[in-house]
Structure 1
Amino acid sequence: MAISFFGKKKEETSSSVNQVVMVPVAAIVPNRFQPRKVFNTDHIGELASTIEQHGLLQPIVLREYEDQKFEIIAGERRFRAIQTLKWAELPAIVQKMDDHETASMALIENLQREELTAVEEADAYQNLMKLNGFTQASLAEKMGKSQSFVANKLRLLKLSQPVQEAIMNHEISERHGRSLLKLDEFNQQMVLHQILAEQLTVKDTEALVASIINPEPAVEEEVADVEEEPATIEESTETPKKAGKKKAPKKEMTTADTKVAVNTIKKSIELIEQSGIPVSAVEDDQKDVYRITIEIPKK
């Protein structure tokens, strides 16, 4: 297995390089730089069933980081499936690699399989840049991608953690996530709850985000209906910049306005509950104020 990606020459020419050996399952640990964060248990079960019926057709790739202790370079899904089958040993190819090469190779191997979510892919790109001192442009060239492709993936890492997790769990799409990048962390999570509760499409989400960023003025029509007072001689000679309609008097807050605000808070609480987060709210309708105490557990 040549690591030409890092400029290393194909020096593994001995017949022992790709030799398959049996390695104790208990002596194997996952790769610390594994980009895949979510492993679907159903898919692992299906893979285990296939391996049980047909055997392991493709050995996993390991490196010996200590005497008789091995770290996975490629094949963690196969390793997890074999663990469920309770095998004592598994067939593997043992490569000689240092920490840097092992981490980079694990990232590359997973990226080439194209099974990662958009967030996991972005995280892999970021780790490759750190490990190898790549810029976005140089990484894009090495990966055969455009710089804009890599840059757009990396932007997903700016999303709040709950939104990133929703993408990794396939609860929302990458396009949903991109539309939320315009919002701060609080509004991202509020919109996320609404997407999940109401099954919003990407188009619906984009419209909702736009309404949060640019809310419509509440009293615009009232301003247009205010009549001008007759102009005096002095006023009639003013330039167009100074002449114009008088401002409408500031709207006074009414009981109806405060009730709308309270109902908005209640709707937000409902959305949080529908997303599966336990939340408690106590309302205290006092003489001069509405008081709502909201409690959300940290864990």
Structure 2
Amino acid sequence: MAKAIKKQALGRGLSALLKDPENDIKSVSDKNADQLVGNIVELELDSIEVNPFQPRSNFNDEALEELASSIKELGLIQPITVRKLDFNTYQLVSGERRYRASKMIGLETIPAYIRIANDQESLEMALVENIQRQDLDPIEIALSYQRLMEEIQLTQEKLSERVGKKRSTITNYLRLLRLDPIIQTGMRDGFISMGHGRALVNVEKKEDQIDIYEKIVGQNLSVRDTEKLVQTYHEGGTKKESPSKEQKSLPAFAKESVKDLQNALETDVQVKASERGKGKITISFGSKDEFERLKKLLTGA
């Protein structure tokens, strides 16, 4: 949390700096330009114009609404990239869907990376240096790889040479960006590991990814258990099944009741019990609203 606040504060500070006419940054040789390269800045949406040469002109309305809903709930995980045209005037380089979705929900500012004149070499150095840091989470690393490929025009092979990583390693990080934003946020917050994410990315449908993600967090599943769960999913098994040994070795009295509990509560229920009748029941929920619904069912209040 402290890291996120620090980044946000930095973005606001740079935003104020960019609005000072006496310190207008136009080139990497200008004063304070070194603070800009590689950092995230909060920009007013009204100061950004769409690139008229953007090859993509059709945007799926339903997909945009889904993205807008995600941004409203979780914030923007991946900043847009713009290039500086003039004082407090910018043009989109990448991220038009994120830009449109942010405007759709009425946001006034958006986190952005700013490209300035002759900053290519400086940007590459800043990004490569950033990747070498030890405190980055897997999503931050994946986003840095993506920026290098998109903005410096590097292939995965060339990128592996620049950062000293195997091409397969880079591929594994980039694949994490195919996960639902909720799961990406969970990984950044430490709820799941990269190993969990690598297993989940093999599930194509985002809603099924979320179902399995909630099971991982709710049942504290290991990476190995997650891989088994994804395998069961691909084999056509029900998502209610769990690979845990405890669930498979339940005594008859408990095994017969698990389905009844799941149907009554309309959520995943895990039971651990011995033949003597001692054990515990774990009830999963995926949101505050679902928790309140379960509380009412169980307490009648």
- Shorter-normalised TM range: 0.3 to 0.5
Higher-Rg structure is 1
TM-score of the superposed pair, with normalisation by structure 1: 0.46
Return the structure number with greater helix share: 2
